Amino acid sequence: MEPKTTREVRKTFSFRVNEPNKLYAPSNWELPKKTQYVKGLQLTSDFPDKLYHRGTQRIEIGGDELFPEGFDSKILVSSISVAPRDRFFDLGEVQPGDLSVKIRYEDQDHERAVLGNGYQVSVVLLIEEAL
């Protein structure tokens, strides 16, 4: 049996949404230097209903646009009834490129999810990393 040369890790990036109907573009998000490729993506929040109803985004990894402007958050969110391993949106094997992770997240008012005190959005990436 050949020795293992990579391992699977999860990398989380987060930002706070505290103003309604605003575009958020956190900066300086970077994958670990040993990243071989990105296998999956998941969006989570401390208030999942707000993320589900209020959010759209554009996501780019390593200079490659994976989700276009206005992509609904509800497609990338999974419920707690889904097994943890299955909560990731399968990306195949996305090359890390320049290691950058960019998101343009837009919050929009929704009658079923009032902003209130805001919410946190977390982008969780499932990556394969060199040992």
The predicted pLDDT at position 51 comes to 98
- β-pairing verdict for 101-107 and 23-24: antiparallel
The predicted pLDDT at position 85 comes to 84
The predicted pLDDT at position 80 comes to 85
The predicted pLDDT at position 84 comes to 87
For residues 32 and 3, what is the distance between their CA atoms, to the nearest angstrom? 22
Is 14:123 a contact under the CB 8 Å cutoff? Answer: yes
**CATH number for the domain formed by residue range(s) 6-130:** 2.60.120
Residues lower than pLDDT 50 in the chain: none
In the chain, where the domains are located: 6-130
